[in-house]
Amino acid sequence: MYELRGDYVTAASTYTAVLPAGGTRDGPAYIALVGLGNIAMRAGRFAEARRHVEEGLTYYTEQGNLPRRAALLHNLAFCAQEQGELHAARRGYEEACALKRALCQQASLLIS
């Protein structure tokens, strides 16, 4: 909510409060990590953003959450692009697009 309004300071402190202190992470903790990654991307802190997004990507991949996985692959590709890692960025964008296409095909089969 705060992030959508552009209040990144409050959003970051809210996300940080959700993270367990050295304990096992759960679903809300990973939502918070992704939020912290988004804030870091907006601030141009791409190495920090990558750390958060990579951890979230591992979690959502293990959970089989394909839409979230596709979004995080896109975010990682963007971070790589901004850090000048163009080959890694292209691979990430291609993987994210392929996954999004597959998800759209599944959705269209469900509708028809």
pTM, two decimals, is 0.80
Domain residue ranges of the chain, discontinuous segments joined by +: 8-111
Instruction: Report which residue type is found at 38.
Output: N
What pLDDT score was predicted for residue 39?
93
| Tokens encoding 18 | 């959700």
- Taking only the tens place, the pLDDT of each residue in 9-44 is 888 888 888 877 665 666 778 888 889 999 999 899
Indicate the Cα dihedral angle 33, 4, 104, 68, nearest 10°: 10
pLDDT at 68 over 70: yes
- DSSP reduced 3-state for 101: helix
- Taking only the tens place, the pLDDT of each residue in 71-105 is 999 999 999 999 999 999 999 999 999 999 999 98
Kindly tell me the burial class for residue 84, based on how many C-beta atoms sit within 10 Å of its own C-beta (0-12, 13-18, 19 or more).
Answer: exposed
Cβ(44)–Cβ(81) below 8 Å: no
Instruction: Report which residue type is found at 23.
Output: G
Q: Which CATH number fits domain 8-111: 1.25.40.10, 1.20.140.10, 3.90.550.10, 1.10.10.10?
A: 1.25.40.10
- Cα–Cα distance list, 9 to 38, 43, 65 (Å): 12, 11, 28
Q: Model confidence at 112, in pLDDT bands (50, 70, 90)?
A: low
